[in-house]
Amino acid sequence: MAQENVQPEARSAEQRVPRHVAIIMDGNGRWANARSLPRYMGHREGVKAVRRVVESCLDQGIETLTLFAFSSENWRRPKTEVGLLMDLFVHTLQKEVNRLDRNGVRMRFIGDREAFNEKLRSLMDAAEAQTAHNDKLTLVIAVNYGGRWDLAQAARRLAERVAQGELSAQDIDSEALGRELCIADLPEPDLFIRTGGEQRISNYLLWQLAYTELYFTDLLWPDFDKAAFDDALRSFHGRQRRFGRTGDQVEQSDSA
Ligand code: IPE
Ligand code: IPE
Ligand code: MG
């Protein structure tokens, strides 16, 4: 009897594991401020939370994890903080890529790389090349990324194809535009998580989040642990994704 109850539940929970989780890792500065530490220490502590969430994704069989590490607006921060973030980025790549590779993680970077120095750009290229064959988890890091930038670069590419005569203006529909976006080859995010208490998108994956389930937590990013990630997954499990249909229609197609 007990077993009969357990098995269908376990199956449906397994089916509902999100394929793609996208996170805004916010609250590092406040975590440090609360401890009278420099903001930089919050960013350093945040790297540990990244490690934990990557491990959880590998354990849970989540296919894609996209992390917002530095937005196109974060250049507005004090020069010293931006510099320290770049140093931490370099240091973290140098330290973590081999381990990620061993664990079957494929790395991708999205955003405008032109703004970064040569050293950082070559580290990103090398990490992508080294891990390109891995297939356990795709870890997408958004750096100097903005959803508006992504849409603008997609529009520019379409315009270039029209100018070359490869495409006519009439061919431009939402699918054509969607195909030119940064992570068009990956499933759209099923679950979005933002830590740090703010309930906003901050120019993250504007197009890709159209039908993503949104989850906000007051926890600051360095405090985000495996239990907190499980809470977010549980919240996701409980949601009915209707994509414009009625609840009855969804139930009927689920039981079919
Ligand atoms: C997120 O934490 C990390 C980055 C934006 C790079 P913040 O640095 O925004 O932390 P708060 O929001 O100031 O606490
Ligand atoms: C969003 O956080 C960007 C990243 C986490 C990288 P911010 O802290 O920059 O967002 P706002 O400025 O509060 O909207
Ligand atoms: Mg913030």
Instruction: Determine, yes or no, domain membership for 7.
Output: no
Structural domain range at position 68: 17-255
pLDDT for 8 beyond 50: no
Query: In the chain, which ranges are E strands?
Result: 20-24, 64-71, 105-110, 137-145, 191-194, 213-216
Is there an atom of ligand 1 within 6 Å of 70 CB? Answer: yes
Q: State the pLDDT at residue 53.
A: 98
Which ligand has its closest atom nearest to the C-alpha of 81? Answer: 1
pLDDT for 9 beyond 60: no
Return the number of other C-beta atoms located less than 10 Å from residue 163's C-beta.
9
Q: State the pLDDT at residue 15.
A: 56
Instruction: Determine, yes or no, domain membership for 171.
Output: yes
> For this structure, is 28 an active site residue?
no
Mutate to test the pocket of ligand 2, among 33, 67, 74 (most ligand atoms within 8 A of CB): 74
Instruction: Determine, yes or no, domain membership for 75.
Output: yes
2-11, 51-60, 73-82, 111-120 — which is least confidently predicted?
2-11
Quickly state the pLDDT bin for 1 (edges 50, 70, 90). very low
Rounded distance from Cα 26 to ligand 3 centre (Å): 5
Quickly state the pLDDT bin for 155 (edges 50, 70, 90). very high
Number of domains in the chain: 1
Mutate to test the pocket of ligand 1, among 23, 26, 224 (most ligand atoms within 8 A of CB): 26
Is there an atom of ligand 1 within 6 Å of 96 CB? Answer: no
Instruction: Determine, yes or no, domain membership for 3.
Output: no
Question: For residue 209, what is the DSSP state?
Answer: T
Cβ within 8 Å of residue 245, ≥6 positions away: none
Q: State the pLDDT at residue 13.
A: 42
> For this structure, is 117 an active site residue?
no
Q: State the pLDDT at residue 16.
A: 81
Percent of the chain predicted with pLDDT > 90: 93
- Tell if the pTM clears 0.85, that is, is over it: yes
Instruction: Determine, yes or no, domain membership for 86.
Output: yes
Average per-residue pLDDT for the chain:
94
List the CATH number of the domain containing 142: 3.40.1180.10
Distance from the first to the final alpha carbon of the chain:
25
